[in-house]
Each structure stands twice: as structure tokens, then as C-alpha cells.
Amino acid sequence: MNDADVRARIQTLRDALTEHNHKYYVLDEPSIPDAEYDRLFHELVALEEKHPDLKSPDSPTQRVGGDVLSAFEEVEHVVPMLSLDNVFDEDGLRDFEQRIKSRLGSDAPLVFACEPKLDGIAISLLYERGLLVRAATRGDGKRGEDITNNVKTIASVPLRLRGSDWPDELEVRGEIYMPRAGFEKMNAAARAKDEKVFVNPRNAAAGSLRQLDSKITASRPLELGVYGVALRGDKSPFNCHSENLNALAKWGFRVSPELRTVKGADGCLDYYEYLLNKRDALPYDIDGIVFKVDSIDLQRKLGFVSRAPRWAVAHKFPAQEEMTLLRDVEFQVGRTGAITPVARLEPVFVGGVTVSNATLHNFDEIQRLDVRVGDTVIIRRAGDVIPQVVQVVAEKRPSDAKIIEMPTHCPVCGSESERVEGEAVTRCTGGLICAAQRSQAIKHFASRKAMDIEGLGDKIVEVLVERELIKHPGDLFSLDRDTLSGLERMGQKSAQNLLDALEKSKATSLQRFIYSLGIREVGEATALNLAQHFGNIDAIMNASQEALLEVSDVGPIVASHIEHFFAEAHNREVIEALIAAGVHWPDIEVKDPSELPLAGQTWVVTGTLESMTRDEAKAKLQALGAKVAGSVSAKTTSLVAGASAGSKLTKAEKLGVEVIDEKAFLTLLQEHSI
Ligand code: D41
């Protein structure tokens, strides 16, 4: 590079970093991953070092930390907050140890305190005579913002120190962060309400602390972890860092449970391996480890250079966010028919693994991110969760970026896709025919409360579907003995048993048959109500929305699931095939409600029933014409009392209301063939 090129590059880097700094620190809306920011920053540092004549007081390298916002009062730290040097590998760490030894002029083994580097917001808490009087952000290290009101709302911040042996004036240093679970929950709620979604827990913590209304801060799941004390004139009462932390714990602070002391760089490297392996399992984000010379005496001897102590270093972990290219978006169909957009990425190393796929959740998320194929996106991978696309790098969008549309048809089976009002998920309506849903649908079809096909377990269903021996439940009835006995772990005998069970299952009831179809949200109770209301399968298949809405317990959502299901020709074909195979049931005589056996009666169900849920019991009673109430009164005809029935049972006995147990209830149902 010639001089003019260097000058131009430096200016480009400064402009970009200044812009990103503003977005990150002032607006809480980072536009590039931290790792990318760091790379640009280091490139600028290197260029400025090589060309000292080009240094400038307004360069981002001259300003460690962010702007002090005007909305909060500016305060001066009693003891300046130092910064930390970074190392990225073993060599860096060994150099660090060697530098210390040379500086001390001694080859004696060193003891290091090791602790996770919390990925939060650095903070200083000032206690006077044990009382929290001020909390301030780090700012530029000398001056920060007074955010006392906000910090006081955080449960893990002691408002008064415990014990009594603390110094009259004490500054505690720590990090305020948001645990991952709280972050996910908060974002999920924000998504549902179409509110601002944060990119990562660190930004969520920063945004939460920067609220002028401390009630908002109070509602955010923030935590404080502390890692040190600062005393005017450096009069530490303790001999080593680990003792400092023990004292802080005693005074009521949360210190890391991962704190260890180790010997030398070798010990540090072992700890690095240990914590890197544990990283995904921790409930909060950490971006590395901080190693500190444990002896306070040695810390004093070592001192610091340009505001970073010589006795401490941060060993960084692989970044949890990286930038990469979104090559394509594909749609996957889950077992329940949910169609999920999946991002196909230019492989990128993030959070310790190479990632080439990431979830995009649903169509709302695609729109919220405004993501397009061809975009450069930021991928986040933290914890044991699936990598996510968290942001688009808008300035890198090519002119031919392609808008993503949700498929109108299932990519697996071609059935129409459906998106229910008020729900975020788009689903395939293919039900019985869709390969993605096939084994799930067949398992349900065969289950005890559905067609009750004994011996058709999950494993066999999976094998049959995998070998394409069955595509939908109708195919079950054309399986033959040779095919079945040819399967692993299936002898002649069990093959014959299964065939017998299939034959036996053909005689069923309308409600079981409807339930076995696996229509979304049509459980046993609704299936029964549908059967009672319509009496035969044709009437149900041809029912309009309005007609469906007349069935007890069927609302607009369930009605639309039912309608969509039967609107699919595939599903109708499967039903025809089943009937053609010999599946049959007696039609139900649709009675005028006043003719039903329990018409005019009011029933109550209480306690735990063994054979069904209370909702199912309720549906069965309704099918017999009874009204089902929530509480016992003089008007109650009968009470069904399951196990551990409580106050309702007592009240019924007091009022002389008839009480029947589960056994008697089942007998009653049997008498009426329900
Ligand atoms: O957990 C942390 N983020 C952390 C930050 C930590 N465990 N220890 C730290 N120690 C220091 C020194 C050694 C300078 C007292 C730190 C930081 N500093 C720090 N955090 C932000 C800037 C510096």
C-alpha cells in the first residue's frame, strides 16, 4: 500500500468504526457482529501503529468504551475502571506469563485466579458505610453514567452489604447481564407483540439499563455478577484476589461459582479447556476467561500500562456471532405439519462449530428481519440451541437479493398450506398423505384411543414408512403376511397377530374413526361431539363452517381445521380407501337434544379420573344431553367424583346431590354405548 492508500484505508476504517460505535453504544442496535468490529478495530490499531504520523485524537482507537449519554448524569469513578488486554490462543497466554516473570525478575511459579468473562455491561457500585449510594456504567473508565435507580431494581444487587467487616468506602466492580433463558422469554414476548427484539443478551442488558424509566428495567431479567473491588489508595485488606471474591460473596454478592486458582500458564490452559466444554451448558453467555495474578502484592508490583493491568488478561472464546452469506431458504415440514423456513448458509465458524444451516422460525420472523436470499446475515449460536439468523447486514445487500415467500403448498406433499389467524406457524394440510407427517399420523391412527391396533408399535410404523410399504393408514389393511414376517424382529406368529389385530380394528365407532384421522385440535372429546351431532361421516365431511360451529366445543379455529382437512382430496381418498378396506361403524341416530338420555340434567365432574381427562368426561356427558357445570349447587343432578375429590364432593354430600364414582360413570357410558 502506498501512502495515499494507507491514508484512505485508515479513514474508511475510522468512519466505519465510528458509525458502528454509535449504533452499538448509543442506539443499542449493532449492525455488524462484535467479531467483525474487533477485526476492523485491530486493523486500524495496526495501521496507526505502523504510521504514527497518521494518528488522530478523534480516532475510535483513542476512545475505549462508548459515549456518555446526556440523559443520565455523568459521574466520576473514585478509582478508574481499567480495561483488559486480550489473548486469543496458547501462544498469547504463554507470552503473558513470560512477560510477568521477566517483569518480576523471577521464574517462581505463578498462581492465577481464573473466572468466566461474563458477556454483559461493566458496572461500578459505590457503597458508603455499607449502603449502596451510586451505581455507574464504566463509560470511558474515568467517567460513566449514573444509573443508580435502574441498578437498584436488580434483585441480585445488595442495597446494603451483609456482615460488618467491610471498609467504609467500597467500590465493587461487576458485570450486569441477562441470562439466556430470560432473554429468550423476553424476546418471544416482544415478537408476539411486534415489539423490539434484541439481537443478543448483551444488547438486551444494555438496552434495559439505559431506560430512563426504571420500571422498565425492573421488568427485565437482569443479574449482577461481581469480579473485584476498588479501594481509594489501593488499600486492600486482603492478600489475594480469591480472598477478595470470598469477601464479596460474604457481603452479599454473587461471585462466579466457576472461580478456581491454578498454577502457571499450563493450569490456565487446562481451565480454558474445562470452561470451553462447559460453555454451552452455562445459563448465561460468556465470551472468554479472565486470568488474574492472584497475589495482590504481585499485582501492585506489576502495575498497569495504558489503563490495562499487566497482571490480568482475557482469553477470548470463539465468537458466538459471525457474519455469512444466506445462500438459500428451504422449507422443512415437521412431524406435526409445521412448515419451517431454514436458512442455507455459506459455512461459518461460530460459537465453536461450523454452521451451514440456521432456523428462521416462521414467516413473521422473515418479515421482521426483512431477510432476503443473497443477504449477508449475522448468525448467533449460543448454548445448545439451533443457530439463528438474528440480523441482516443492510449495507451489504446486493441489488438482486431475492424476497422470500412462504410456500402456498407443502414442499413435501403438495397439499395447500394453511396459516391460522393469530398463529405464527404455517402448516401443511396434507395430514394423512404427507410423508413428513406420515409416521406420526399412522402412529396416532393405530393408538389405543383411536383404532386401537394392538401390536402396531412406533418402531414397526417407522420401518413400514421408511421402506415405503405404507404411505397412509389405508395401506395398513393391504399388508400381507409375507411382507410383515420379512421385517426384522417379526416372526410368522407376530405377523399373524398383527394381521388379526388389524382385522379386529375394522369394527370401530364413528367417534374413534374421526379421532384417528388426526385432524388438528380434534381430540377424543371433539370427535365424540362431531359424531353425535352429525351421525355419519359424510355429513361431517361436507359440513360448512357454520354447521361445524353449532357443535358444542367447536370454535372458529377448530372448525377451520376440520374444513381444511376435508377440503384436501388426499384426505378424502384415504377415508374412502379405509372404508373400502372394510373399516366400518354403526351410524349414530341424530336425536333432537330433548330426546337424549340425560336431557335437562346438570352434571359436575371433579377429582382425577383414571380412564379419561375431565374434558373428555365433560364431552361424553354433553353427548348424552347433559349440561356440565363447574360448581355444585342445589340444581346439580349428579356429581362424578374421581380420586382426591375435594370441596365439591363435600358440598354435594351436604346438599344431598347424587354422587357416582368413576366405575359407575363408566358403566353409565357403556349403557349408552359411548
Ligand atoms: O466477567 C467479566 N466481564 C470481567 C471483567 C471479569 N471477570 N474480570 C474483570 N477484571 C478486570 C480487571 C482485571 C481490570 C479488574 C473484568 C474487567 N476488568 C473489565 N470489564 C470491562 C472492562 C474491564
Q: List, for residues 397-450, the tens digit of each pLDDT value.
A: 999 999 999 999 999 889 999 987 778 889 999 877 888 888 888 999 999 999
* Average pLDDT of span 559-573: 92
pLDDT at residue 62 is higher than 70: no
pTM of the entire structure? 0.68
Write down which residue in 574, 590, 606 finishes a domain. Answer: 590
Q: Is 606 among the domain residues?
A: yes
Same domain, 185 and 271: yes
* Residues 582, 445 within the same domain: yes
Do 117 and 289 meet the contact criterion of CB atoms below 8 Å apart?
Answer: yes
Q: Is 80 exceeded by the pLDDT of residue 21?
A: no
User: What is the best residue among 81, 114, 175 to mutate for testing ligand 1's pocket, by most ligand atoms within 8 Å of CB?
Assistant: 175
User: By alpha-carbon position, which residue is closest to atom 9 of ligand 1?
Assistant: 227
Q: Does an H or E element contain 180, and which? A: helix 180-192
Same domain, 451 and 542: yes
Which pLDDT score is estimated for 157?
A: 86
Residue 298 — very low, low, confident or very high, per pLDDT cuts 50/70/90? very high
Q: What is the three-class DSSP state of 15?
A: helix
pLDDT of residue 24: 65
Q: Which residues neighbour 295 within 8 Å (Cβ) at sequence distance 6 or greater? A: 111, 239, 240, 241
Nearest atom within ligand 1 for CA of residue 119: 3
Q: How far apart are CA 215 and CA 150, in angstroms?
A: 8
Burial of 448 (0-12, 13-18, 19+ CB in 10 A): exposed
Q: pLDDT digit string (tens) for 591-632? A: 787 888 899 999 999 988 888 888 888 888 988 888 888 888
Mean pLDDT of 298-320: 94
What is the position in ligand 1's atom list of the atom closest to the CA of 82?
Answer: 14
- Cα 10 to Cα 94: distance, rounded to the nearest angstrom: 31
For range 58-86, the mean pLDDT: 74
Q: What is the DSSP letter of 79?
A: S
Instruction: Look up cell 442506539; give the residue.
Output: 27
Residues 134, 270: one domain? yes
261: CATH? 3.30.470.30
The answer as to whether 510 is a domain residue is yes
The number of angstroms, rounded, from the C-alpha of 5 to the middle of its chain's C-alpha atoms is: 46
Same domain, yes or no: 379 and 479 = no
Number of H helices, E strands in the chain: 25, 26
Catalytic site residue 193?
no
Q: What is the pLDDT of residue 28?
A: 54
Lowest mean pLDDT among 4-13, 27-36, 205-214, 544-553: 27-36
Q: Calculate the average pLDDT of the chain.
A: 90
How many Å lie between the centroid of ligand 1 and the Cα of residue 472?
Answer: 60
pLDDT confidence of residue 565: 93
CA dist 278 and 139 (Å) reads: 31
If we measure between CA atoms, which residue out of 201, 185, 192, 175 comes closest to residue 390?
Answer: 201
Query: Is 414 among the domain residues?
Result: no
Let me know: does 470 contact 479? Beta carbons within 8 Å: yes
- 105 Cα to the center of ligand 1, angstroms: 26
Residues 242, 256 contacting (CB under 8 angstroms): no
Residue 23 has pLDDT above 80, yes or no: no
Q: Is residue 359 domain-shared with residue 225, that is, in the same domain?
A: no
For residues 138 and 222, membership in a common domain is answered with yes
* The last residue of a domain, from among 590, 618, 643: 590
Report the pLDDT value the prediction gives residue 65, as an integer from 0 to 100. 31
Residue 70 lies in a domain: no
* Ligand 1 binding pocket includes 202 (Cβ within 6 Å): no
> Separation of 357 CA from ligand 1 center, angstroms?
34
Ligand 1 atom having least distance to the Cα of 115: 7
Q: What is the pLDDT of residues 127-179, one digit of tens each?
A: 999 888 999 999 999 999 999 889 888 888 888 888 888 999 999 999 999 99
- Which protein residue's CA is at the shortest distance from atom 2 of ligand 1? 117
Using DSSP bridges, classify how beta strands 402-403 and 353-359 pair: parallel, antiparallel or unpaired.
unpaired
CATH classification of the domain holding 364: 2.40.50.140
Residue in 101, 117, 142, 215 annotated catalytic: 117
- What's the gap between Cα 501 and its chain centre? 42
Cell numbers linked to 592: 333432537
Q: Do 356 and 212 reside in the same domain of the chain?
A: no
Residues 391 and 508 reside in one and the same domain? no
**In whole angstroms, what is the distance from residue 53 CA to residue 67 CA?**
26
3-state helix, strand, coil in the chain (%, to 5): 40, 20, 40
CB-based contacts of 243: which residues, under 8 Å, 6+ apart?
Answer: none
In a domain, 80, yes or no: no
| H or E stretch at 215 | helix 214-218
Is 227 a pocket residue for ligand 1 (Cβ < 6 Å)?
yes
Q: Whose CA is nearest to atom 22 of ligand 1?
A: 83
Separation of 85 CA from ligand 1 center, angstroms?
A: 10
For 567, the domain range is 429-590
Same domain, 504 and 540: yes
What is the Å distance from ligand 1's center to 78 Cα? 17
Residue whose cell numbers read 361436507: 542
Ligand 1 close to Cβ of residue 312 (< 6 A): yes
Number of domains within the chain:
5
Residue 52 burial class via C-beta count within 10 angstroms: exposed 0-12, middle 13-18, buried 19 and up: exposed
CA distance 178 to 382: 13
The reply to whether 369 falls in a domain is yes
Q: State in Å: Cα 83 to ligand 1 middle.
A: 7
Same domain, 234 and 117: yes
Task: Kindly state whether residue 621 falls inside one of the protein's structural domains.
Answer: yes
Least confident range of 52-66, 241-255, 342-356, 396-410:
52-66
Span 113-135, average pLDDT: 95
pLDDT at 70: 56
* Residues facing residue 321 across a β-bridge: 380
- Indicate if the pLDDT at residue 341 is higher than 90: yes
C-alpha 127 – ligand 1 centre gap (Å): 19
**Residue whose CA is at the smallest distance from ligand 1 atom 13:** 312
- How far is residue 13's CA from residue 44's CA, in Å, rounded to a whole number? 6
Distance CA 463, CA 467 (A): 6
Of 353, 265, 359, which is closest to residue 317 (Cα–Cα)?
A: 353
Is any ligand 1 atom within 6 A of the Cβ of residue 122? Answer: yes
Which of the residue ranges 19-28, 349-358, 536-545 would you say has the lowest mean pLDDT?
19-28
311 vs 70: CA distance, rounded Å: 34
Nearest alpha carbon, ligand 1 atom 21: 122
Phi and psi torsions of 169, nearest 5°: -120, 125
Please report, for the domain that includes residue 585, its CATH number.
1.10.150.20
Rounded to whole angstroms, the Cα distance separating 190 from 185 reads 9
Burial class (CB in 10 A: 0-12, 13-18, 19+), 574: buried
In the predicted structure, residue 61 carries a pLDDT above the cut 80: no
Grid cell, residue 496, equals: 399373524
299 pocket-lining for ligand 1 (C-beta < 6 Å): no
Task: Examine the pLDDT at 67 and tell me if it is beyond 60.
Answer: no
- 473-506, pLDDT tens digit by residue? 999 999 999 999 888 878 889 999 999 999 999 9
The residue-averaged pLDDT of 644-671 equals: 90
pLDDT in tens, 84-113: 999 999 999 999 999 999 999 999 999 999
Residue 187 in contact with ligand 1 by CB distance below 6 A: no
237 and 267, same domain (yes or no) = yes
The answer on pLDDT for 254 being more than 90 is: no
pLDDT of residue 487: 86
Domain for residue 421, yes or no? no
Of 267, 285, 316, the residue at which a domain comes to its end is: 316
Burial of 597 (0-12, 13-18, 19+ CB in 10 A): middle
124 vs 458, more confident: 124
Ligand 1 binding pocket includes 510 (Cβ within 6 Å): no
Ligand 1 contacts CB of residue 115 (under 6 A): yes
pLDDT class of 68 with cuts at 50, 70, 90: very low
